[in-house]
Structure 1
Amino acid sequence: MIPLKGEALNHNFSVNRNNKIRDYLNKAARYLINWCRENKISTIVVGVNPGIKQSINLGKKTNQKFVQIPHNIFRFKLKAMCDRYGLIYTELEESYTSKASFLDRDKIPVDNADNPSEYSFSGQRIQRGLYKTKQGKLINADCNGAANIGVKSKLNGFTPDRLEASLAMPLRVKFDVALAC
């Protein structure tokens, strides 16, 4: 067998990487659908930020990793599975959901590019993954943003008294796929 060189080797790496990512996204979408069905959740709300990867400045290494994540493909897979299993899939503009404090019940404004305004919020993100509320409570920043997307969707059940405990220690799910990115 002749070893691969040059473009053939790069193509082989690319195909392998794409297969692993496709498998991972399928597993993640399947896990989410199964979890929703087991917990009798009928609606999935996904926050969408159309310019999420445009002109980002998270540092050279982080930018290289972040722009490789195929968010749109995951959304399409999730929507297709929702349609297949009878779940309601909704996309919602997610501006200010990470800045507003869910536990402090901050009002979440709608982004208006034609009339930009300054807003102040009671809490703040103090580092990657950590949000501090007005009362000094530390919660997971991604969970705070997700809960605020739920509030913005106006679905029932997104209240601080119901969700406060789950904001501090979210469940981390790992799949058995090794991504060599």
Structure 2
Amino acid sequence: EEVKAKEIKQLQVIPKAKAQYFEYRLIYEEEKTRIETEKGTWLSIDLNVDNLAVCGDHSGRSFILDGRKLKSINRWYNREIARLQSIKDKQGIQENTRRTNKLYRDRRNKIHDYFNKAVHWILEYCKANKIELVLVGDGKEWKQESEMGDKNNQNFMQIPFDLFKRKLKAKLELHGINFELVEESHTSKCSFFDGEPVEHHEEYVGTRVKRGLFKTSNGILVNADVNGYLNIARKYFEENGEKGKLKTLKGVESSGVVATPRRIREPFEFQPSLKPLT
């Protein structure tokens, strides 16, 4: 988005990698613009690597913001950085090289760009469907990106999902949409479709039969992340005195849209024709 000069409050110039390059940050004021929402509407989101964000709302509509391209980008940078680090170590060089620092910087920029596009898509979906509440699963022990140059950061770097959550929270709240993190322990193991309580069990009624699929007690196969986002929503509402709220959710059956979410691929260009997602 274009930032007008009169909106800029501060310009920060931050040296990185011992002043090998500089990062510029614009601090500007963005006017809050509340969107029209409807009471009782919600969107639940389960974050993952292959499926960046598996989302479903109060009406049973569901979609996936694909994460495989981001995963591929991250993997390439990790391999290339590891290759250069190996050469550097053999030569006895202690500091990061300019080329390695550039790779760190390019990787970070690509991740920011990918996240910004995904956040914008979710915002546009919320606008189009008048969503008042967004729930995001929280608690996975994702390894976050540390400051560049830290020795621990020379190993494999994971995708910084906490950064995505912060971006999404800021953008949604700027438009008057409520944002809540939901502790997601046991949401992937318990079967939403069997009404299994979201808590630890010695034995679970459902099972993950293979990558990406979850089998309920009666043999129905559903997207495992769909089961996850439904349990995230169920857990939130039960903890807030609305037990049974999701029993009226449309499409919760083996052939319904909940079981077969629509996949949206990067660059995540939102089109009005995507409303409603059925």
TM normalised by structure 2 equals 0.51
Residue equivalent to 1:23: 113
| AA of the residue aligned to 1:144 | N
| Deviation of 1:171 (Å) | 1.5
Q: How many residues align?
A: 156
Residue equivalent to 1:13: 103
Structure 1 residues 118 and 151: CA distance shift in structure 2, 3 A = closer
Q: How does 1:110-129 map to 2 (within 5 A)?
A: 118-129=201-212
8 A contact 2:143–2:160 mirrored in 1: no
Given the alignment of the two structures, is residue 149 of structure 1 paired with residue 237 of structure 2, yes or no?
Answer: no
Separation in structure 1 between the aligned mates of residue 207 and residue 169 of structure 2, nearest angstrom: 32
Structure 1 stretches lacking a partner, 5+ long: 1-5, 55-62, 110-116
Q: Secondary structure at the match of 2:180?
A: strand
Separation in structure 2 between the aligned mates of residue 166 and residue 158 of structure 1, nearest angstrom: 15
Structure 1 residues 50 and 174: CA distance shift in structure 2, 3 A = closer
**Residue number among 168, 171, 177 corresponding to 2:259 in the alignment:** 168
| Deviation of 1:176 (Å) | 3.0
Residue equivalent to 2:122: 32
TM normalised by structure 1 equals 0.77
Given the alignment of the two structures, is residue 134 of structure 1 paired with residue 217 of structure 2, yes or no?
Answer: yes
Structure 1 residues 19 and 52: CA distance shift in structure 2, 3 A = closer
Moved over 4 A (4+): none
| AA of the residue aligned to 1:168 | A
Q: How does 1:52-67 map to 2 (within 5 A)?
A: 52-53=142-143, 64=156, 67=157
| Deviation of 1:119 (Å) | 3.6
Q: How does 1:89-104 map to 2 (within 5 A)?
A: 89-104=179-194
Q: Share of identical aligned residues, percent?
A: 36
Structure having the larger proportion of residues in helix: 1
8 A contact 1:102–1:160 mirrored in 2: no
Cα offsets for 1:25-83 (capped at 9, x unmatched) = 011111111111211211111111153449xxxxxxxx95xx52111000000110111
| Deviation of 1:157 (Å) | 5.3
The CA RMSD measured in Å over matched residues stands at 2.6
Structure 1 residues 16 and 51: CA distance shift in structure 2, 3 A = closer
Kindly name which structure, 1 or 2, has the bigger radius of gyration based on alpha carbons: 2
Structure 2 stretches lacking a partner, 5+ long: 1-95, 145-154, 269-278
8 A contact 2:142–2:161 mirrored in 1: no
| AA of the residue aligned to 2:250 | R
Q: Secondary structure at the match of 1:126?
A: strand
